[in-house]
Chains A and B, each alone.
Chain A
């Protein structure tokens, strides 16, 4: 069983739609959860991070973590064509670790 599972898509939505991106994981030691956005032919950039369970909101983006289900989500409200990118989830365990385990990414297209 892979440590982090992420649906690769592609996911295509109309402009203005609410987008839900998800990852599941198997390692219960993971405590820090991140979402990266990667535009075509660019490096990933950190979008959001959360610690343990709960929600975090930043503008049109909401990150949600459910540790009991080992499930994390990223919601994008009022999606824009500029949100078209690949979204990677990443996670790691306690403070002593500095390596991240990445999902393979979901490719999102927002159609004007």
Chain B
């Protein structure tokens, strides 16, 4: 079974802290994604990466950065956490294009509360 693992399920951080959310996938997928999900707003793409060290901004990249040093690992970084970044963060991965690219696999989610 494909597995996308988000290391932290529940975090509470203080305003201004630097926050790292880690994600690892075990399917040798080229593509990896970070979304945030908020009630009434649905899933919004923050960043995605289609290869090691490659990244592209999604719809809401402000206040976030990412790192992909290895194919299986994609990290989301909140440089200075703010209360409006309290949300559920979802990591996902997929093969590139083609029919397999339809199958985006999601992790279990990381619930971040910024106080």
Residues of A in contact with B (beta carbons under 8 Å apart): 8, 32, 34, 36, 41-46, 49, 51, 88, 90, 92, 95-100, 102-105
Contact = CB atoms under 8 A, between A and B. Distances in A.
Interface stretch (B62-70, B79-87, B91-99): B91-99
B94 A42 contact: no
Given A43-B107, A95-B97, A104-B41, 10 more contacts: A43-B92, A44-B43, A46-B103, A95-B98, A95-B101, A97-B97, A98-B50, A98-B97, A102-B42, A103-B42
A43 B108 contact: yes
A16 B92 CA distance: 33
Contacts of A98: 31, 48, 50, 94, 96-97, 101
A43 B92 CA distance: 9
Chain B interface size band reads 20 to 34
A43 B104 contact: no
A38 to B, nearest CB: 8
Interface of B: 4, 31, 40-43, 45, 48, 50, 90, 92, 94, 96-99, 101-109, 111
Contacts of B98: 95
Nearest to B31: A98
A51 B111 CA distance: 33
Contacts of A44: 43, 90, 106
Contact of A49 (B48, B103, B111): B103
Contacts of A49: 102-103
Contact of B106 (A43, A104, A105): A43
Given A43-B108, A98-B94, A92 B102 contact: yes
Contact of B111 (A32, A36, A41, A104): A41
B102 A34 contact: yes
A21 to B, nearest CB: 15
Contact of A102 (B43, B102, B103, B107): B43
A98 B42 CA distance: 19
A33 to B, nearest CB: 9
B45 A99 contact: yes
A105 B31 CA distance: 23
